[in-house]
Chain A
Amino acid sequence: MIEIKNVSKTYNGEKKAIKNISFDIKDGEIFAFIGHNGAGKTTMIKSLVGILDFEEGDIFINNKSIKKDPINCKLEMAYVPDNPDLYENMTAIDFINFVCDMYKIDIEVRKENIKKYAAMFEIEDKLNNDISSFSHGMKQKVALIAALAHNPNVLIMDEPFVGLDPKAVFDIKNIMKQMTKEGKTIFFSTHILDVAEKLCDRVAIIKNGEIVKIGKMKDIKGDSSLEKVFLELGEK
Chain B
Amino acid sequence: MKTFSLLKAVLSQDMNMFKYSTKKNSSKLKKTLFPILLFLLVCFSFGYYAYMITKELAPFNLTYICLSMFIILVTVMTFISGIYKSQGILFESKDNDLLFSLPIKKSQILFVRIFKLLLFEFIYNLMFLLPAFVIFIYFESPNISFYFISLLMIILVPIIPTVLSSILGYIIKVTSSKFKAKKIIQTLLSSIVFLGIFYLSMNLESFIQDIASNATSINDMLTKIYYPLGLYIDLIFKFDLLKLIKLVSINVLPLIIFILIGEKLYFKIIFNSKEEIIKKKINVKKELNIKRKPIISLARKELKRYFSSPIYMFNTSFGLILCLIVPIYMSLKGSSILDNILSNFGMTSDLSIHTMFYFFILFVCSMTSISSSSISLEGKTINITKSLPIKEEVILKSKILTCYLIELPFIIIGEIIFFIKFRPNIYYFILITLLGFLMILLTACIGLIVNLKYPKMNASNDTEVVKQSMSSMVSVFIGIGILVGSIFIIVLLSDYLNLDLILGLHIVLITIISIILYYILMKFGVKEYRKINV
Contact = CB atoms under 8 A, between A and B. Distances in A.
Interface of A: 11-13, 46, 49-53, 70-75, 79, 81, 83, 85-91, 93-94, 97-107, 110-111, 114, 127-130, 132-133
A128 B280 contact: yes
A130 B381 contact: no
B98 interface: no
A101 to B, nearest CB: 4
Given A85-B383, A99-B388, A128-B281, 6 more contacts: A73-B389, A83-B380, A85-B381, A98-B297, A104-B291, A128-B279
B389 to A, nearest CB: 4
B388 A89 contact: no
B291 A106 contact: yes
Interface residues of B, number: 43
Interface stretch (B36-44, B282-290, B503-511): B282-290
Top 4 A-B pairs, shortest CB-CB distance? A89-B308, A74-B389, A101-B297, A85-B380
Nearest to B385: A102
B333 interface: no
Interface in B359-394: 379-381, 383-384, 386-391
A110 B296 CA distance: 18
10 contacts: A12-B24, A13-B25, A72-B389, A74-B387, A86-B384, A101-B296, A101-B297, A102-B390, A107-B290, A129-B278
A75 B288 contact: no
Nearest to B277: A133
B280 A129 contact: yes
Nearest to B297: A101
A147 B364 CA distance: 42
Contact of A90 (B277, B304, B391): B304
Interface in B72-115: none
A150 B308 CA distance: 28
B383 A51 contact: yes
B530 interface: yes
B275 A110 contact: no
B142 interface: no
Contacts of A70: 389
Contacts of A72: 389
B278 A130 contact: yes
B285 to A, nearest CB: 9
A132 B386 contact: no
Contacts of A71: 389-391
Interface of B: 24-25, 275-282, 284, 287-294, 296-298, 300-301, 304-305, 307-309, 379-381, 383-384, 386-391, 530-531, 533
Given A52-B533, A53-B530, A107-B291, A102 B279 contact: no
A85 B288 contact: no
B134 to A, nearest CB: 39
Contact of A101 (B281, B284, B291): B291
Contacts of B24: 12-13
Nearest to A104: B294
Contacts of B25: 12-13
B284 A128 contact: yes
A127 B284 contact: yes
A60 to B, nearest CB: 16
Contacts of B277: 129-130, 133
Contacts of A81: 383-384, 387
B288 A111 contact: yes
Contacts, number: 117
A87 B531 CA distance: 21
Contacts of B308: 88-89
Contacts of A53: 530-531
Given A87-B304, A133-B275, A94 B389 contact: no
Contacts of B290: 97, 107
Interface of A is mostly: mixed
B233 to A, nearest CB: 49
Nearest to B388: A102
A87 to B, nearest CB: 6
A148 to B, nearest CB: 14
A6 to B, nearest CB: 21
Contact of A114 (B275, B288, B300): B288
Contact of A97 (B287, B386, B391, B530): B287
Nearest to B296: A101
Nearest to A89: B308
A101 B292 contact: yes
Contacts of B296: 101
Nearest to A79: B387
A133 B387 contact: no
B150 to A, nearest CB: 41
B381 A87 contact: yes
A91 B280 contact: yes
Contacts of A12: 24-25
B386 to A, nearest CB: 5
Contacts of B309: 89
A57 to B, nearest CB: 17
A62 to B, nearest CB: 13
B340 to A, nearest CB: 38
B456 to A, nearest CB: 16
A91 B291 CA distance: 16
A107 B289 contact: yes
B363 to A, nearest CB: 30
A196 to B, nearest CB: 23
B333 to A, nearest CB: 40
A10 B266 CA distance: 44
Contact of A75 (B287, B301, B389): B389
A50 B386 contact: yes
Contacts of A102: 294, 297-298, 388-390
Contacts of B289: 107, 111
Contact of A50 (B276, B304, B387): B387
Nearest to A52: B533
Contacts of B387: 49-51, 74, 79, 81
A229 to B, nearest CB: 32
Nearest to A97: B287
Contacts of A104: 291, 294
A134 B304 CA distance: 18
A144 B307 CA distance: 26
A61 B276 CA distance: 42
B376 to A, nearest CB: 14
Nearest to B288: A111
B304 to A, nearest CB: 5
A105 to B, nearest CB: 8
Contacts of B291: 100-101, 104-107, 110
A130 to B, nearest CB: 5
A164 B298 CA distance: 29
A93 B379 CA distance: 21
